[in-house]
Chain A
Amino acid sequence: MTSFPKTLNENPLEKQDRSNIAVSCHKITKEFGSGDTKVQVLRGVNAEISFGEMSLLVGPSGCGKTTLISIICGLLDPTEGDLFVLNENVGKMSGRKKTAFRSQNVGFVFQQYNLLPALTAEENAAIPLVISGMKKRQAVARAAEVLNQVGLGNKLKSLPSQLSGGQQQRVAIARALVHNPRLLVCDEPTAALDAKSGQTVMELLTQVGRQKDRAVIVVTHDSRVYKFGDRIIEMNDGLIERVVFPKIDGSPYHAEG
């Protein structure tokens, strides 16, 4: 049990300071299908994510976590509700603008890494820069720097098949960071990794997330990584059940609460 029940999304550290809000969801709903097969997956989600924090999104399987982050990063449209990401009204953007918005402002880390198997580590990490129009050579040079930062300076020319899962995920993180996006979205980044690699990856992400101009949101099942969360958003059945700030609550977080 957390000792201080909090009102939804209230961060006692920065009560009035709205400028620090990276993502704000207001009464987001999402329905799939229509008629008889219609299911409401999100049932009015209110949530906020701040810059400079590691935010975790947790909850039982099928509760809508992936759906929510897909909406936040502009991969899915909400059925209803308002959504502001980095002060832009993403909910009202056209498909094209969303694509451009994603390519500039969002970095992705996937459970299955999704690296291109035929490209080397540095080439994979360079892709977001190439998408934004940078020349290959420049892009790869920049990617190499970032790979260095994630500790893969000696694996620049390796193909994904020559890397361990943890190393591949670090390449994916380098790819997610290479174009300096302000929002980093990670879905189960440690699910396919052993404990030690998962630890390394989470340390890396936390370090990134605590930079003051960045917001990181990590969807996870993995109770071993809960300790990294600055803000833990608990979801259940399409709703936010509660939000916990373990550092402020002063007690280590346990999912069972």
Chain B
Amino acid sequence: MIWIAWKMLTGDKAKYAGITFGIAFASMLISHQVSIFVGIMSRTTALITNVEEGEIFVMDPTVRQADEVIGLPNTALQRVRSIEGVKWAVKLSRANVRARLPDSPNNSVNGDFRGVILIGLDDSTLVGAPRQLLAGQVEDLKKPDAVIIDEAGYFYLFPGQKPQVGQIIELTDRRAEIVGICVVRQPFQSQPIFYTRYNQALQYTPPERRLLSYVVVEPQEGIAPETLAKKISEETGLQALTREQFKQKTIQFYLQNTGIPFNFGITVMLGFIVGVAIAGQTFYLFVLENIKQFGALKAMGFGNLKIVGMILIQALIVGVIGYSLGLGGTTLFFTATQGAIPLKGFTLLWQVMVLTAVAVSVIVVLASLLSIRKVLVLEPGVVFR
């Protein structure tokens, strides 16, 4: 019976291609757009993820998301340190500053200014420093004027140049020497990230600004981060969040305050609708064209259950093939763009694959419903007309 379903389906090459294309198109669009969406959303929490030590972030009570910097008074650090249950607490700053490259025929932005992100790390512990370096060492940050730049930022500022240390630039008109190139998660605003010591960061920012953005806290052994975060909030009046809470709050902010989820949602819906429309209509035409043959099968004793089974098998076949082609397309896209800096960190997650599979199942079931109905109400006697 399966072979009959298979042959009927593939016998009509044009329709078979049409249905498969509809589903492949839908699965590619859905999986691709959802992946990009997930990638963008995970970029919003890059700052949190890039700090690998510490469980709690303490910040101004009005902060709504990780890249929203509202300076804390310097006393905040001492107040947090004095709370029972805190193992250690260190400063972390995040600021937007101007970078300027020295004149050189090799540089893309000769004399131009570029906005960059500057992260200031606790001078003695360097908590929050990148772990993976392409060149240089984290310890070199202790040298005067030392900064570490992220890989994407490096290739943005020095296109076509090999990753090498020793390049000199200006940050807010002050000399900075690149001592390392690191690989970190990309931020939502695709800007170069510079790491430096907190005291060095002070030099690169206007003095009137409060530089302290976060206090990063590690709880003592046996104390749950949630509990300590709550305690810090209560005792200092500051906002203290665990990593997870902070990530969720950030993502929540982007979901509620930007058009991103809506726009991606629309594209995904379109993929879904186009998939249902193309696949459903072609499938229906296919069944309609074969209606006499279906009638003959019914006359010859093919029961309704078997016919429905056959149509569902056909739906399953085009579903599986279309899905594979679509996901293949998305995989190909992400493989091809793996080296592309703007798309760094964007991949096809298995969760997205599952979601797409569910969507495709719904598409093929919807697409076959009309056809199934048509065949079910078909009187076998029509074959005589």
Contact = CB atoms under 8 A, between A and B. Distances in A.
Query: Are A and B physically bound partners?
Result: yes
Interface of A: 66, 69-70, 73, 75-76, 96, 99-100, 102-104, 108, 110-112, 114-119, 123, 127-128, 130-132, 136, 187
B4 A114 contact: no
B377 interface: no
12 contacts: A69-B384, A73-B299, A102-B301, A103-B300, A108-B383, A110-B384, A114-B293, A116-B293, A118-B12, A123-B7, A128-B301, A131-B297
Nearest to B302: A131
Nearest to B10: A118
Given A115-B293, A119-B7, A130-B1, 17 more contacts: A66-B384, A70-B381, A75-B384, A99-B301, A99-B303, A103-B300, A103-B301, A110-B296, A114-B295, A114-B383, A118-B10, A119-B4, A123-B4, A127-B4, A131-B301, A131-B306, A187-B384
A184 B266 CA distance: 58
A111 B296 CA distance: 12
Chain B interface mostly helix, strand, loop or mixed? helix
Contacts of B385: 66
Interface in B87-130: none
Interface string B172-206: 00000000000000000000000000000000000
A103 B385 CA distance: 20
B3 to A, nearest CB: 6
Given A102-B301, A127-B297, A118 B7 contact: yes
Nearest to A103: B301
Contact of A118 (B11, B296, B299, B380): B11
A104 B384 contact: no
B81 interface: no
Nearest to B6: A118
B292 interface: yes
Contacts of B379: 75
A75 B380 contact: yes
Nearest to B292: A114
B17 interface: no
Given A103-B300, A127-B300, A110 B383 contact: yes
In the A-B complex, list the 10 residue pairs whose CB atoms are closest, starting with the nearest.
Answer: A118-B11, A103-B301, A114-B296, A75-B381, A118-B7, A102-B301, A70-B381, A66-B384, A187-B384, A75-B380
